Chains A and B, each alone.
Chain A
Amino acid sequence: MMIDFLNAIVALSNFVLIPAIAYGSQLALGALGVTLVYGVLRFSNFAHGDTMAFGTMTVILFTWWFQSMGISIHPLPTALLALPFGIAVTALLLLGTDRVVYRFYRKQKAQPVIYLIVSLGVMFILNGLVRFIIGPGDQRFADGERFIMKARDFKAMTGLKEGLAIKTSQSITLVTAIIVVIALFWFLNRTRTGKSMRAFSDNEDLALLSGINPERVVIYTWLIVAALATIAGTLYGLDKSFKPFTYFQLLLPIFAAAIVGGLGSPLGAIAGGFVIAFSEVMITYAWKKVLTYLMPDSLDPSGLVQLIATEYKFAISFVILVIVLLFRPTGLFRGKAL
């Protein structure tokens, strides 16, 4: 009986908890980028998914280059070493886009909806650029040790029937996400520049009156967004794989996460990311295995006990989004300002 229970817990961790925590961290980092742009620049950035794709692509290119030169940080994936370079290139790209595209509309004080359409144009360009440079296909770029703990080793260690596998990419995701989030909150809450960003997001006129330079705030925002997008994209790519179209599709769960948490609220973005990830993984998981351990033998489920097929995982973010829009449009954390 006790063993069954332990097996159920292990199976649950292996197939639901660990993957959902990793995916949730990735979504949270993506949603943070969306929410920062919304809070400071005040528009929904539809190019964010493709910004993530661009950032990841540069990381992959640097990774390949390092690999060809024999540079490695085994057992960690080379991509971690390439990450700062990818962030730098993406930052340049975003600052360039702001300079060439968005700044004009800022000067005009354009409506958010115009920004949104402009971001569609930017999305097109980034999408084309990424496909042009690296192609539309799947790229795997994870090297180094694949597992921290293999299912087989776990079984041998514990004597349980169920194995627990922890992928390197999953633990790297969690550790990186924690570091990034701490750094971001430290920046926003403790530094003068971070506070000026929050002030600008809270009350633009009063920020101007206090002598805060809006262009400086905007530059810092794009720098942070570049870092967040590249890190989120790279972690997702390490964990699964890199395919430009998948990154475009991530737009929906990412926006759902940001809106569920409350657009403009960084804390909300993180909570939203985990809400979406856990719902997605739990609803598409086939619970047969876990239930078989928990239920008396006579009640063993005959089917897979999967609520919804994996193909419909987008429907889950969408349904959560709709429920939030219907019942609490400001999101869990009452967004609007950083």
Chain B
Amino acid sequence: MAEPFLIGDTMTGGYGKGPDILHECTIAVDKGEIAVIVGPNGAGKSTAMKAVFGMLDVRGGQVRLDGNDITKLSPQDRVLKGMGFVPQNHNIFTTMTVEENLEMGAYIRRDDYAETMDQVYDLFPILKEKRNQHAGELSGGQRQQVAVGRALMTQPSVLMLDEPTAGVSPIVMDELFDRIIEVARTGISILMVEQNARQALEIADKGYVLVQGRNAYTGTGQELLADPEVRKSFLGG
């Protein structure tokens, strides 16, 4: 099998000087694919993604992007390399307008980003409508769109989303997933952590079930949904 576009290869590590939370955990995603990390609470889902993004100490294993070892890079440097990250909480500038949020997303870009902004507005038309409103005044689903839009402004090759549907209604969740599929179709790899395992696996090209910081099951979304063990333990039958 060829090297995936982004891979966190057998990562072991934890926060600062704390104990290891991840144990030889592997997460990978290919170009234009959607990879989803699921698992019970406290399984280290978000931790695994943060490890890929450089927010914790990876003591064993490697993170490679397009074949290059980026294990030692800071999150900021990874942004420059084309990784976009949407944190779970506090992922927008609430006191700034929608448009300013997008501008801040493009802060590191020195070229003209007007076209990218148009693309984001095409993807999330509601944001265009509310471009001059403060992001803090928007609904939960709209805020998530702002957060994703902000991350897209750097034209990343990988977009990482930490529980993008936490706290939004099922209808909004479906809509968000549709948008994420659309983003993936433009060739951007998506790596996301999800609580709503069933729905997420349905749109996933690849799924990772983590338990206590280890890979428990790995497969395509459909395979995992079909796996009786996974169904029984993690999808509620």
Min Cβ gap B62→A in Å is 22
Known A210-B104, A211-B108; judge A202-B96 contact (CB<8 A). Answer: yes
Q: Does B79 touch A at the CB level, under 8 Å?
A: yes
Q: Does B4 touch A at the CB level, under 8 Å?
A: no
B79-117 CB mask vs A (1 if < 8 Å, else 0) is 110000101001111111000100111011000000000
Known A205-B90, A210-B104; judge A195-B79 contact (CB<8 A). Answer: no
Q: Does A209 touch B at the CB level, under 8 Å?
A: yes
Known A207-B104, A208-B76, A210-B150; judge A195-B96 contact (CB<8 A). Answer: yes
Specify which of B75, B79, B107 lies most central, judged by the most chain A CB atoms within 10 Å of its CB. B107
Known A195-B100, A195-B103, A212-B107; judge A206-B93 contact (CB<8 A). Answer: yes
- B92's contact among A196, A206, A211, by CB below 8 Å, is which? A206
The residue in chain B whose Cβ has the minimal distance to the Cβ of A338 is B95
Cα–Cα, bound, A212→B100 (Å): 14
Q: Is the pair B76, A209 in contact by a Cβ cutoff of 8 Å?
A: yes
Q: Chain A residues near B85: list those with CB within 8 A.
A: 209
B window 64-85: CB within 8 A of A: 75-76, 79-80, 85
Known A209-B79, A210-B107; judge A198-B150 contact (CB<8 A). Answer: no
- B108's contact among A203, A210, A337, by CB below 8 Å, is which? A210
Q: Does A91 touch B at the CB level, under 8 Å?
A: no
Q: Chain B residues near A74: list those with CB within 8 A.
A: none
Min Cβ gap B173→A in Å is 23
Min Cβ gap B181→A in Å is 24
The residue in chain A whose Cβ has the minimal distance to the Cβ of B135 is A202
Question: How many residues belonging to A are interface residues under a CB distance threshold of 8 Å?
Answer: 17
- A198's contact among B75, B76, B91, B96, by CB below 8 Å, is which? B96
Min Cβ gap A338→B in Å is 7
- A211's contact among B76, B87, B96, by CB below 8 Å, is which? B76
Known A209-B79, A210-B104; judge A337-B95 contact (CB<8 A). Answer: yes
> Range of interface residues on chain B?
20 to 34
A186-214 CB mask vs B (1 if < 8 Å, else 0) is 00000010011011001101111111100
Q: Is the pair B87, A206 in contact by a Cβ cutoff of 8 Å?
A: yes
Cα–Cα, bound, A284→B17 (Å): 60
Cα–Cα, bound, A338→B90 (Å): 16
Q: Chain B residues near A205: list those with CB within 8 A.
A: 87, 90
- A210's contact among B90, B94, B95, B105, by CB below 8 Å, is which? B105
Q: Chain A residues near B103: list those with CB within 8 A.
A: 192, 195
The residue in chain B whose Cβ has the minimal distance to the Cβ of A207 is B104
Q: Is the pair B75, A209 in contact by a Cβ cutoff of 8 Å?
A: yes
Cα–Cα, bound, A30→B90 (Å): 31
Min Cβ gap B76→A in Å is 6
The residue in chain B whose Cβ has the minimal distance to the Cβ of A336 is B95
Cα–Cα, bound, A208→B79 (Å): 10
- A202's contact among B79, B94, B150, by CB below 8 Å, is which? B94
Q: Is the pair A203, B107 in contact by a Cβ cutoff of 8 Å?
A: no
Min Cβ gap A83→B in Å is 31
A103-119 CB mask vs B (1 if < 8 Å, else 0) is 00000000000000000
Q: Is the pair B79, A199 in contact by a Cβ cutoff of 8 Å?
A: no
Q: Is the pair B79, A211 in contact by a Cβ cutoff of 8 Å?
A: yes
Min Cβ gap A128→B in Å is 38
Cα–Cα, bound, A211→B103 (Å): 12
Q: Chain B residues near A196: list those with CB within 8 A.
A: 104, 107
Q: Chain B residues near A212: list those with CB within 8 A.
A: 104, 107
Cα–Cα, bound, A209→B88 (Å): 13
Specify which of B93, B104, B105, B107 lies most central, judged by the most chain A CB atoms within 10 Å of its CB. B104
Cα–Cα, bound, A196→B75 (Å): 18
Q: Chain A residues near B76: list those with CB within 8 A.
A: 208-209, 211
Interfacial residues, chain A to chain B (CB-CB below 8 A): 192, 195-196, 198-199, 202-203, 205-212, 337-338
Q: A206-B90, A210-B79 are in contact. List 12 more A-B contacts (CB 8 A).
A: A198-B93, A198-B95, A199-B93, A202-B93, A206-B87, A206-B93, A207-B93, A209-B87, A210-B104, A210-B150, A211-B80, A337-B94
The 8 A-B pairs at the shortest CB distance, nearest first, are namely A211-B108, A202-B93, A199-B104, A337-B95, A210-B107, A202-B95, A210-B104, A199-B93
Ordered by A's residue number, 9 sampled pairs between the chains whose C-beta atoms are within 8 Å are A206-B91, A209-B76, A209-B79, A209-B87, A210-B79, A210-B105, A210-B108, A211-B79, A212-B107
